Every structure is written in C-alpha cells, then in structure tokens.
C-alpha cells in the first residue's frame, strides 16, 4: 500500500506537470514556433503515460498488479506509441529551432524508425495483455525506438554547440539519461522487479526535457518583452 501511495503521488505530480506545462506552452506560443510544438509534445507525453500510470496506481492501491495485467498491458502499448510520437515531435522541434530545411535523408530515417517501432508494437507476439509478456519482443520493439532517440539526441548535441544555443545545450543529456534508466527495465525488470524503480529517474529525465523547452520559451518571452519596453 505504501508503494502505491508514493507512486500515485509521484505520478500525479508528473502527469500534472506535463499537461499543465504543455497547455501553457500551446496557449502562450505562436503556432509557427518550436515552443508550440514543444507544448504539443508535452501533452502527448503526459496523456500517453496516463494510460499506463493511472491503471498502475489503481492496481497498487487495490488488489495488485497481477489482477490488472490486461489494463496495464494496453496502457503500455498506448504509452509505447505516444513515446514514439514524442521523439518525432522533438525532431520537428529541432528542425524548427535550427531552421533546418534540407534534411530529406534524416526525415526519412525518422519516419522509417517511427513506423517500424509502432508496427512492431502492434504485433500480437508482444502479448501486451499477458502477465508474462515476451522479453524477445520487448527487445525487438525497442531497437528502432533506441535508434530514433540516439539520432535525435545527436542532432541536438551537434546543433546546440554549432549555434551556441545555451538554452538547449543539455537537452541531449536528458535523452541519454532517460534511455540509460529505461533499457535496464526492459531487459531485467521481469526477472528482478526491483529494477523497475529506475522508471522514477527515467521519468525525472523527461521532466527535465520538458522544463528545458518551457524555460527557453519564458526566456524568449522575457527578452521580447524587454525589447519592446526599451524600444
């Protein structure tokens, strides 16, 4: 019960943060700016994760995870798809922020990796609703996802340094951390349930990712406001 209470409190903060920040960015940004896309990305992240975290909290606070394997599995499926969309939108943020227009090969790579990831998630061999899903398929579907994440973080790493973009300087690191905490869960959580606790720092890494965009938007807004005040 204590685990359920602690996880539920944490999840409420996390989901609330994603949705509130995302909505604020959507409402406060020009629709043509990268911050508008960032707001959509934050809402997609929070809404998608809710499909897994809410049933999980309910299960922990009632009759346990085993009794809700189907709901939790479907929630994981939805989260897997929305997390893929998260990185596709983040790539769009990259293109918008750094005015990248000629990147046909990279565009195609992102599209192929995203479609492949989602397609692999939809195969029945994943056994999403089973209490003992396939580890092999868990690894397979995460290969294109990991490559997609690495591609996006490398792009942000290079461009943020080429353009001296201090606001997004450490975005790549939050992506590295999210995967560093996520991969052991995929590989070992079924055999060693305690490994699942790594999802907490993984979630914190995503909070930092969202915060970087929001802080950059606020700084941009303040600079524009300051410009008009002295003009």
**CATH label of the domain that carries residue 56:** 1.20.1070
- H or E element, residue 136: helix 135-162
pLDDT of residue 211: 96
The count of structural domains within the chain is 1
**How large is the C-alpha radius of gyration of the chain?**
19
pLDDT at position 14 is 95
Residues 6+ apart with CB under 8 A from 17: 46, 207, 210
- Asked if 147 and 185 count as a contact pair (C-beta separation under 8 A), the reply is no
Decide if pLDDT at 220 tops 60.
Answer: yes
Answer yes or no: are the C-beta atoms of 77 and 54 closer than 8 Å: no
Per-residue model confidence (pLDDT) at position 191: 75
Q: Residue 175: pLDDT above 90?
A: yes
Q: Give the model confidence (pLDDT) of 110-142 as tens digits.
A: 999 999 999 999 999 999 998 888 999 999 999
- pLDDT band at 223; cut points 50, 70, 90: low
- What pLDDT, on the 0 to 100 scale, is given for residue 76? 93
3-state secondary structure of 169: coil
Beta strands in the chain, from DSSP E residues, in sequence order: none
Q: For residues 112 and 145, is the Cβ–Cβ distance under 8 A?
A: no
- Name the phi and psi angles at 186, rounded to 5: -60, -40
40 vs 227: CA distance, rounded Å: 28
Under DSSP, the state recorded for 99 is T
Measure CA 70 to chain center: 23
Residue 230 has pLDDT above 70, yes or no: no
Mean pLDDT in the chain?
90
SS3 content of the chain, % helix, strand, coil (to 5): 85, 0, 15
C-alpha span between 149 and 77 (Å, rounded): 18
Task: Give the confidence band of 222 by pLDDT, cuts at 50, 70, 90.
Answer: low
Half-sphere exposure in the Cβ direction for 228 (13 Å, CA)? 5
The string of pLDDT tens digits covering residues 17-33 is 999 999 999 999 989 99
Question: Residue 32 has what DSSP assignment?
Answer: T
Q: Do the Cβ atoms of 169 and 160 come closer than 8 Å?
A: yes
Nearest residue to 37 via CA among 100, 108, 85, 81: 85
C-alpha–C-alpha distance, residues 113 and 69, integer Å: 28
Domain that holds residue 70: 2-230
- 182, 205 contact by CB (below 8 A): no
């Amino acid at each position: 019960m204590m685990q359920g209470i602690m996880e539920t409190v944490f999840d409420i903060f996390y989901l609330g943060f994603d949705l509130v920040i995302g909505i604020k960015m959507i409402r406060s940004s020009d629709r043509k700016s990268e911050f508008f896309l960032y707001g959509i990305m934050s809402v997609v992240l929070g809404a998608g994760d809710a499909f897994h975290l809410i049933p999980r909290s309910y299960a922990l606070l009632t009759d346990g995870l085993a009794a809700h394997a189907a709901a939790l599995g479907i929630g994981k499926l939805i989260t897997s798809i929305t997390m893929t969309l998260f990185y596709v939108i983040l790539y769009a943020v990259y293109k918008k922020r750094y005015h990248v227009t000629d990147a046909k090969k990279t565009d195609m790579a992102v599209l192929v990796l995203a479609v492949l990831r989602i397609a692999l998630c939809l195969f029945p061999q994943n056994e999403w609703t089973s209490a003992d899903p396939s580890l092999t398929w868990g690894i397979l579907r995460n290969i294109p996802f990991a490559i997609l994440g690495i591609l996006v973080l490398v792009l942000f790493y290079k461009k943020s340094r080429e353009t001296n973009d201090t606001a997004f300087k450490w975005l790549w690191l939050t992506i590295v951390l999210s995967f560093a905490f996520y991969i052991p869960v995929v590989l070992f959580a079924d055999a060693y349930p305690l490994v699942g606790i790594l999802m907490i720092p993984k979630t914190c890494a995503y909070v930092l990712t969202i915060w970087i965009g929001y802080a950059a938007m606020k700084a941009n807004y303040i600079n524009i406001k300051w410009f008009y005040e002295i003009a």
